[in-house]
């Protein structure tokens, strides 16, 4: 008989591995399940073969296995209404309702909220009609920022350099309905360094996490196609305390209050994808969940008991301000060659036991007793340090110990911080 609380984590990527790691450090947690989990998660949690959007299956599992708290990773599960279904069954769950998840799942809704409550963001207009959209875009400066209104697994944003590119993107989104039927939001093009500001949010209560920066492009020098994120670090030198306070008050807290006023209170993580533009800090996007790979570098800094934070938010109760270590972290993603395009799976990974750093599994599985590649992003190696240069040197030294013939990684994570831009 296990003593302590039983927790179910929904999802199976690097973000969920980081959540499971954080929960496993809680003295209150006795047993962790993860659905579907992965090979790395399986070392600290029991993997459960259920899809993250199988709401009925997950609910039945939680009831049948004495789960006292469920923590949701992916937006697809939130948008599928997992929180509403669990709450209706009297189950405690950390994550937003379907209505609140609209802050991520509908770009148009997010833009309307920001406009209504004065949250700084790029100017925009939304369109349903292809000809009207193209006409509008053609009369404005390029590049044009085109965003599909719904969830599109990170592929719904096109920065079109000229009219031909814009036309192709609008055709795909509005005429071919590549992501389904939906509008397109056309935004002003902003410039400046991007960063991620995640907060635990329970209605009006906002508990900030350390800032992080993702690296979305596949190759060094921010070249190549957009990916889910190739690495991240904390301790951003280009965001001052004043910038952070501005963003906390005028973006994160204002949006949390707006969602309360709209009758869609938040009860999970609000992720601000922000940009430091020459005109100040503005919102590029909101997510209704932990960022990936940001979570993998942020949660190792948490000194407080994450179970306390998750349960307080799940219950709508206040909790003590979470405490964070005064260190920085840096993490490098190892991805399958070909990612984010097509790639092969099933390559054996060796040397993991020699790595003296956090090894986060993003897309792995066990096959014939070996850890093998099973996704586009496969592993992330994370370490902390006194400063970014130290953390970077440590991580790349450890990454070099991992042997697999089908993985690649960026060698310049944190370049913006280290170049002093």
Residues that bind ligand GLY (CB under 6 A): 214, 229, 287, 291-292, 294
Alpha-carbon distance 114 to 224, whole Å?
31
The least CB distance from residue 243 to ligand AMP, in Å, is 18
Cα 295 to Cα 181, 312, 329: the distances in Å are 31, 19, 11
Residue nearest to ligand AMP (CB): 285
Question: Which of ligand GLY, ligand AMP, none has residue 229 at its interface (CB below 5 to 8 Å by kind)?
Answer: ligand GLY
Which of 198/352 has CB closer to ligand GLY? 198
Which of 66/180 has CB closer to ligand AMP? 180
Going by C-alpha positions, the residue among 286, 305, 251, 310 that lies closest to residue 95 is: 310
**In contact, 386 and 158? CB cutoff 8 Å:** no
294 in helix, strand or coil?
helix
Residues 272-301 that bind ligand AMP (CB under 6 A): 273, 284-285
Alpha-carbon distance 410 to 215, whole Å?
9
Indicate which single residue of 100, 145, 269, 333 sits in contact with ligand AMP (rule: CB under 6 A).
145
The least CB distance from residue 53 to ligand AMP, in Å, is 20
Which of 59/410 has CB closer to ligand GLY? 410
Which of 3/191 has CB closer to ligand AMP? 191
Distance of CA 311 to the CA centre of its chain: 20
Token pair 């929904």 is found at 10
Which of 61/238 has CB closer to ligand GLY? 238
Binding mask 86-125 for ligand AMP (x = CB under 6 A): ------------------------------------x---
Indicate which single residue of 187, 202, 305, 398 sits in contact with ligand AMP (rule: CB under 6 A).
187
Q: Kindly state whether residue 202 participates in binding ligand AMP, applying the rule CB under 6 A.
A: no
Sorted by sequence, the CB contacts under 8 Å of residue 295 that are 6+ apart come out as: 14, 15, 18, 19, 198
Planar angle of CA 291, 294, 296, nearest 5 degrees: 110
Which of 267/287 has CB closer to ligand GLY? 287
The least CB distance from residue 319 to ligand AMP, in Å, is 29
Q: How many CA atoms lie within 13 A of 398 on its CB side?
A: 26
**In contact, 41 and 12? CB cutoff 8 Å:** yes
Residue nearest to ligand GLY (CB): 291
Residues constituting the chain: 421
Cα 167 to Cα 222, 228, 250: the distances in Å are 25, 25, 35
Q: Cα-flanking dihedrals φ and ψ of residue 160, to 5°?
A: -90, 125
Q: Kindly state whether residue 54 participates in binding ligand AMP, applying the rule CB under 6 A.
A: no
Binding mask 211-240 for ligand AMP (x = CB under 6 A): -----x------------------------
131 in helix, strand or coil?
helix
Which of 287/406 has CB closer to ligand GLY? 287
Indicate which single residue of 194, 308, 387, 412 sits in contact with ligand AMP (rule: CB under 6 A).
194
Q: Please choose, out of 12-20, 125-133, 183-191, 202-210, the segment that lies near ligand AMP by the rule CB under 6 A.
A: 183-191
Residues 155-174 that bind ligand AMP (CB under 6 A): 157, 159
Which of 210/291 has CB closer to ligand GLY? 291
Indicate which single residue of 180, 189, 249, 261 sits in contact with ligand AMP (rule: CB under 6 A).
189
Going by C-alpha positions, the residue among 190, 188, 191, 192 that lies closest to residue 141 is: 188
Q: Kindly state whether residue 85 participates in binding ligand AMP, applying the rule CB under 6 A.
A: no
Alpha-carbon distance 301 to 284, whole Å?
25
Which of 14/235 has CB closer to ligand GLY? 14
Letter string b/e over residues 151-189, b meaning 16 or more CB atoms within 10 A of that residue's CB: bbeeebbbbbeeeebbbebbebbbeeeebeebbbbbbee
Question: Which of ligand AMP, ligand GLY, none has residue 247 at its interface (CB below 5 to 8 Å by kind)?
Answer: none
DSSP string for residues in 151-178? --TT--EEEESSHHHHHHHHIIIIIS-B
Question: Which of ligand AMP, ligand GLY, none has residue 202 at its interface (CB below 5 to 8 Å by kind)?
Answer: none
**In contact, 391 and 399? CB cutoff 8 Å:** no
Contact positions vs ligand AMP (CB under 6 A): 122, 145, 147, 157, 159, 187-190, 194, 216, 273, 284-285
């Amino acid at each position: 008989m296990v003593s302590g609380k039983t927790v179910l984590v929904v999802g199976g990527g690097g973000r969920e591995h980081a959540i499971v790691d954080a929960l496993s450090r809680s003295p209150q947690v006795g047993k962790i399940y993860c659905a579907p989990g992965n090979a790395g998660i399986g070392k600290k949690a029991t993997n459960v073969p259920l899809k993250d959007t199988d709401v009925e299956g997950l609910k039945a599992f939680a009831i049948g296995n004495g789960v006292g708290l469920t923590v949701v990773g992916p937006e697809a599960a939130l948008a599928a209404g997992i929180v509403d279904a669990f709450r209706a069954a009297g189950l405690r769950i950390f994550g937003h309702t379907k209505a609140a998840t609209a802050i991520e799942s509908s770009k148009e809704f997010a833009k309307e909220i920001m406009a209504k409550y004065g949250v700084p963001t790029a100017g925009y207009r939304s369109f349903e009609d292809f000809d009207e959209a193209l006409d509008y875009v053609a009369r404005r400066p390029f590049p044009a920022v085109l965003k599909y209104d719904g969830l599109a697994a990170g592929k719904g944003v096109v920065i079109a350099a000229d009219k031909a590119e814009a036309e192709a993107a609008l055709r795909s989104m509005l005429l071919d309905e590549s992501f389904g039927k939906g509008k397109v939001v056309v935004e002003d093009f902003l410039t400046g360094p991007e960063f991620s500001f995640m907060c635990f949010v329970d209605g009006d209560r906002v508990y900030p996490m350390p800032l992080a920066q993702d690296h979305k492009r596949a190759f060094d020098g921010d070249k190549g196609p957009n990916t889910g994120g190739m690495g991240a670090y904390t301790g951003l030198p280009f965001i001052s305390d004043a910038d952070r306070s501005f963003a906390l008050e005028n973006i994160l807290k204002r949006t949390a209050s707006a969602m309360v006023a709209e009758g869609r209170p938040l009860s999970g993580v609000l992720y601000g994808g922000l940009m430091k533009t020459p005109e100040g800090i503005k919102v590029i996007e909101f997510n209704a969940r932990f960022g990936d790979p940001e979570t993998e570098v942020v949660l190792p800094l948490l000194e407080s008991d994450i179970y306390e934070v998750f349960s307080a938010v799940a219950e709508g109760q206040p909790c003590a301000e979470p405490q964070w270590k005064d260190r920085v972290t840096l993490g490098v993603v190892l991805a399958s060659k070909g990612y984010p395009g097509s790639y092969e799976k099933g390559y054996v990974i060796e040397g993991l036991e020699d790595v003296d750093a956090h090894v986060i599994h993003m897309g792995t599985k066990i096959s014939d007793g070996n850890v093998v590649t099973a996704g586009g992003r496969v592993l992330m190696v994370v370490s902390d340090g006194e400063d970014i240069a130290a953390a970077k040197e440590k991580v790349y030294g450890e990454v070099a110990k991992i042997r697999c013939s089908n993985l690649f990684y960026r060698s310049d994570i944190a370049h913006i911080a280290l170049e002093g831009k």
